[in-house]
Amino acid sequence: MAGLKQVQRQTGVALWRQIADRIREAISTGAYDETGMVPPETVLALQFGVNRHTVRSALAALAQEGIVRAVQGRGTLIERKERLNFPITRRTRFTAGIGDQAREMRGLLLDEAKEEASTEIAGWLGLKQGEQVIRLETLRHADRRPVSKATSWFPAERFAGIGEAYRRHESITKAFAELGLPDYVRATTEVTAAHASAADMADLELTPGAILLIAKAMNTDLEGVPVQYSISRFAADRVQFTIEN
Amino acid sequence: MAGLKQVQRQTGVALWRQIADRIREAISTGAYDETGMVPPETVLALQFGVNRHTVRSALAALAQEGIVRAVQGRGTLIERKERLNFPITRRTRFTAGIGDQAREMRGLLLDEAKEEASTEIAGWLGLKQGEQVIRLETLRHADRRPVSKATSWFPAERFAGIGEAYRRHESITKAFAELGLPDYVRATTEVTAAHASAADMADLELTPGAILLIAKAMNTDLEGVPVQYSISRFAADRVQFTIEN
DNA sequence: TTAAAATGTCTATTGATATAGACAACCATA
DNA sequence: TATGGTTGTCTATATCAATAGACATTTTAA
C-alpha cells in the first residue's frame, strides 16, 4: 500500500473527518487486504502527521458506519469494503443492475404527489409547463443498506396509479409493466456530485460531510416518448457507475 | 426560489462550510438568477437557522473562490455560476468535449515517468505485470480555471515520447496522432466521487472539503487494443458528465 | 438629505476540535 | 508467564467554530 499522504491543515472540515474519508477510501480500494486490518493507530497517526487521538476519532466514525471494528489488544479489523457497481447503459435498471451484486433488493416509496410540472421537468418530459405530473420519492436498499434515494417524475395522465404499483412491486420496471409499458430505455444521464442534504443524509444513513453521486436520468418508451425523469442520489462511498461504450 | 432547508447540526464539517456548499449549489442551478445576487445575510441566516456570522463565513469562502463578491451597502453579487458539461461517449475527448464551452483550453504536463505496470494498470492495458508503462500527470484548464487533473498510463513500447508530444500539443488526441494513432475510442468509464487529496486540492485550486468527480477510463485503438488507462479528477462544482445512450 | 437596507468590524462567551502525556486493559506469542 | 504491541481511558491545554449583541460604513431610493 502506497503511503497515504499527510493531510493538509485546513479549515471547515475537521481533521478527523478528512482522515476517516482517506481511510475509508483506502479500505474500499483494497489497500489493507493483506492483513484485513487497518494499521495501528500510532502508525496511522505518524502517516497522517496528527495526534493518535485524532486518528481514534476517525476510526470511531468508521466503526459507527460499520466499516471497521476495533478489538483491544489486537487491532482494528475491516468489516466491510464492498462498493456496488451500477452500470449505466441504454437498458439501465436499478434492480437488475444491482441485483446480481446483492442478495436482497428493496424499494421503498417515501412519498407520492401529483403536481404541476416545473419548466425544467416539463422540458425533460416533453410536456407543457403546468401539466400534471406524478412525483415519487423512493429509497432503494441493497442487503438492508440504503444505496440511493430518487425523485422521479412521470406524466400523470399516462401513468396514473404508478405510486401504488411501485409500492407493491418495489420496482419502477415492474410498475411500468403493470401500467402497460413492457419496455423502456435510458435516453440521457447527467452525473454530478455534491454534499448530502440533511434529509438525504438521514434516509441514506450517511455521516456528516458525506458525498452523493447524483444521476439525473431521462427514460423513454421504445418510440422515444419520455416516460420518466429522475434525480437519483447515491451514497458515493457505496457505489460506482460504469459506462460501457 | 424554493426555500433552502435548514442545515443539520452535526459534527466533523463546519456549519459555515455546509452552508457554503448549499449556496454554491443554489447559485449553479440558477436559483438566484432573477436578481443576480445572493439574498441578504440576515435572510440567509434565517433560512439556514444560523447566526449571521456563520453565513458570513460561508460567503467569505465563496468570495475566496471567486463565485460571489460582497459590496457593502448593496449586497453580495454572483460572479460566476457556470458548470462545464463533459459528454462521455465512445468518442470522448477532453479538449473537443469542453472546447465548445470555453474559449481557451490548456493542458499542462505536470509529471512524466516510466515505470513498471502494477497489477491493476497491467490488467487495464492488457499487459503483464511489471511491463513498462509511461505515466503522465496532466492538469487541464478551461478559460484559465483548472478543471481536471488526470493520471494516465500508456504502453511504453508503443507510445515512447508521448510526454514530449503532449507537452507540445497540450492534447492527448494530438499526441496520439503524432505517434501514429489517428483515432481511438472510449471503451469503459467508471465514475465515482471522493474528497480531494491535498495535492489535487492545490492543483485544482479547490477549497477544503471540496468534492471530486472521478472518471477512470480505458481507451482502445480501433482494433480494440488498449492504448490508455486514465484516472481523471474533476472539480465537482465545475463540471457535470453527460452520458447519451 | 434622510432613512432603510445592506455589508463590515469589534467584543465576549460557549462548545467542539486537536494536541500532549500518562497509564490501564487486553491479546498474541515467544 | 512474561513481554511487546495494541486499543481504551483519563487529564490538561490551546485553538477553532458558532452564537450573541452592538455599532460603523456604504449604497440605494424615497
State the Cα–Cα distance between residues B238 and B67, nearest whole angstrom: 11
The answer to whether the CB of B136 falls within 8 A of the CB of B162 is yes
Does B3 score more than 50 pLDDT?
Answer: no
Does B245 score more than 70 pLDDT?
Answer: no
Joined grid coordinates for residue B205: 485550486
Residue among A22, A86, A237, A245 with most chain B CBs within 10 A, to mutate? A245
Does B110 score more than 90 pLDDT?
Answer: yes
The answer to whether the CB of B117 falls within 8 A of the CB of B132 is yes
Cβ of B86 under 8 Å from any chain A Cβ?
A: no
Provide the H-helix boundaries in chain B.
15-28, 41-48, 52-64, 94-99, 119-125, 162-169, 172-178, 198-203
For residue A82, what pLDDT is reported? 67
Does A1 score more than 70 pLDDT?
Answer: no
Up-side HSE of residue B159: CA atoms within 13 Å toward CB?
A: 32
Whose CA is closest to B226, among B139, B138, B118, B152? B152
Joined grid coordinates for residue A150: 430518487
Whether A193 and B195 lie within 8 Å, measured CB to CB: no
For residue A144, what pLDDT is reported? 83
For residue A2, what pLDDT is reported? 30
The answer to whether the CB of B53 falls within 8 A of the CB of B15 is no
The answer to whether the CB of A197 falls within 8 A of the CB of A207 is no
Q: Give residue-wise pLDDT tens across range A229-238.
A: 999 999 988 8
Kindly list the residues from chain A whose CB atom is less than 8 angstroms away from the CB atom of residue B33. Answer: none
State the Cα–Cα distance between residues A192 and B25, nearest whole angstrom: 11
Cβ of B208 under 8 Å from any chain A Cβ?
A: yes
Cβ of B47 under 8 Å from any chain A Cβ?
A: no
Does A10 score more than 50 pLDDT?
Answer: no
Question: For strand D, is any atom closer than 7 Å to the CB of A8?
Answer: no
Tell me how close the Cα of B191 comes to any Cα of chain A, in angstroms: 5
Whose CA is closest to B92, among B150, B146, B145? B150
Mean pLDDT, residues B99-112:
82
Strand order in the sheet with A37-38: A37-38, A75-78, A68-71
Cβ of A4 under 8 Å from any chain B Cβ?
A: no
- pLDDT over 90 for what percent of chain A? 49
Whether A244 and B188 lie within 8 Å, measured CB to CB: yes
Mean pLDDT, residues B167-184:
94
> What is the greatest pairwise CA distance in chain A?
66
User: CATH 1.25.40.10: does it fit domain B15-78?
Assistant: no
Whose CA is closest to A230, among A187, A168, A183? A187
The answer to whether the CB of A139 falls within 8 A of the CB of A156 is no
Mean pLDDT, residues B102-122:
90
- pLDDT over 90 for what percent of chain B? 48
Mean pLDDT, residues A75-84:
83
Cα–Cα distances (Å) from B236 to A193, A196, B34, B171, B201, in that order, read 6, 13, 25, 22, 12
For residue B67, what pLDDT is reported? 87
Q: Tell me the pairing of strands B84-88 and B226-235.
A: unpaired
The answer to whether the CB of A102 falls within 8 A of the CB of A78 is no
State the Cα–Cα distance between residues A32 and B43, nearest whole angstrom: 48
> Are domains A15-78 and A84-243 of this chain identical in fold?
no
Cβ of A241 under 8 Å from any chain B Cβ?
A: yes
Cα–Cα distances (Å) from A192 to A101, A212, A215, in that order, read 24, 8, 7
Confidence of residue A5 (pLDDT cuts 50, 70, 90): very low
User: Which nucleotides in chain D have some atom under 7 angstroms from a protein Cβ?
Assistant: 4-11, 16-21, 25-28
The rounded radius of gyration (Å) of the Cα atoms in chain B is 21
Q: Give domain A84-243's CATH number out of 3.40.50.1820, 3.40.1410.10, 3.30.360.10, 3.90.550.10.
A: 3.40.1410.10
State the Cα–Cα distance between residues A142 and A85, nearest whole angstrom: 12
Where does residue A239 rank: exposed (0-12), middle (13-18), buried (19+ CB within 10 A)? buried
State the Cα–Cα distance between residues B40 and A111, nearest whole angstrom: 33
Question: Domain extents for chain B?
Answer: 15-78, 84-243
Residue B232: beta bridge partners? B150, B215
The answer to whether the CB of A25 falls within 8 A of the CB of A67 is no
Strand order in the sheet with A211-220: A105-116, A132-142, A145-155, A226-235, A211-220, A185-195, B239-244, B84-88
Residue, of B10 and A227, whose pLDDT is higher: A227
Q: Give residue-wise pLDDT tens across range A188-199.
A: 999 988 888 778
User: From the CA of B73, how many Å to the C1' of C2?
Assistant: 16
- State the complex-level ipTM: 0.71
Closest Cβ–Cβ partner in B5, B13, B240 for A190: B240
- Assign 3-state DSSP to chain A and report helix, strand, coil percentages, each to 5: 30, 35, 35
